[in-house]
Amino acid sequence: DAGVIQSPRHEVTEMGQEVTLRCKPISGHNSLFWYRQTMMRGLELLIYFNNNVPIDDSGMPEDRFSAKMPNASFSTLKIQPSEPRDSAVYFCASSPSGQGQPQHFGDGTRLSIL
Amino acid sequence: AQSVAQPEDQVNVAEGNPLTVKCTYSVSGNPYLFWYVQYPNRGLQFLLKYITGDNLVKGSYGFEAEFNKSQTSFHLKKPSALVSDSALYFCAVRGYSGTYKYIFGTGTRLKVLA
């Protein structure tokens, strides 16, 4: 099993630029989660999808952040315009259906906004 | 409100000694509890879960966890620590609060000393 695949692994860009993070969940998993991890705030849930539909986006920091899941095998998290405080490691995770199912995490995208 | 607490930021233990990483939770209804481990520059990896049944749950790499309903705790344990167990450990609970969410603790850094 390939696991959750995230790209790019590292992204360095200048303030004001658009950033797009990509995620391919594990095949057959129908829930997908986006998290942000920083030293100050720990691991924060940004948004999660079930069967490609956004269920809870209450963790999205502000309108500059948007997420889509156009099909079961692909999701994006976009930041436009980016700001230095968006610098963090962004993780995507997926899980099968069922409340007791664990999440499987990708190795993250380390984002640095200069 | 649902929550997870990991009261220790760091736990130090000598190699070969038993280790315990503490976790307490607050959730409506029956909890689904999880432990994850994170190594540097990697995503979180699932270790074990409690859904129902036996209060002692065994997981990967020799780890186990004890569910205690009266104390609302789910402490992670290992009889004999290895230097390679040094990592960041997260406790998580999944419960219902409008939508089903995974709530992660702030993490405990385990350092096993040779």
State the pLDDT at residue A35. 97
Q: What contacts A63, CB < 8 A, 6 or more positions away?
A: none
Contacts B29 to A, Cβ<8 Å: none
Contact (CB<8Å) A103/B44: yes
Contact (CB<8Å) A100/B32: yes
Contacts A45 to B, Cβ<8 Å: 101-102, 104
Does residue B79 carry a pLDDT above 80? Answer: yes
Question: In chain B, positions 34-53, which contact chain A (CB-CB < 8 Å)?
Answer: 34, 36, 41-46, 49, 51
Across A81-101, b (16+ Cβ under 10 Å) vs e yields: ebeeebbbbbbbbbbeeeeeb
Contact (CB<8Å) A56/B99: yes
pLDDT band at B98 (very low <50, low <70, confident <90, very high): low
Digit-coded pLDDT (tens) for B24-70: 999 888 889 999 999 999 999 999 999 988 899 999 999 999 999 99
Q: What contacts A98, CB < 8 A, 6 or more positions away?
A: none
Digit-coded pLDDT (tens) for B15-31: 999 999 999 999 888 88
Q: Which two tokens stand for residue B52?
A: 């129902």
State the pLDDT at residue B97. 63
Phi, psi angle pair for B5, to nearest 5°: -125, 130
Per-residue pLDDT in tens (0 to 9) along chain A, 114 residues = 689 999 999 999 999 999 999 999 999 999 999 999 999 889 999 999 999 999 999 999 889 999 999 999 999 999 999 999 999 999 999 999 877 889 999 999 999 999
- The larger pLDDT score, comparing residue A98 to residue B84, is at B84
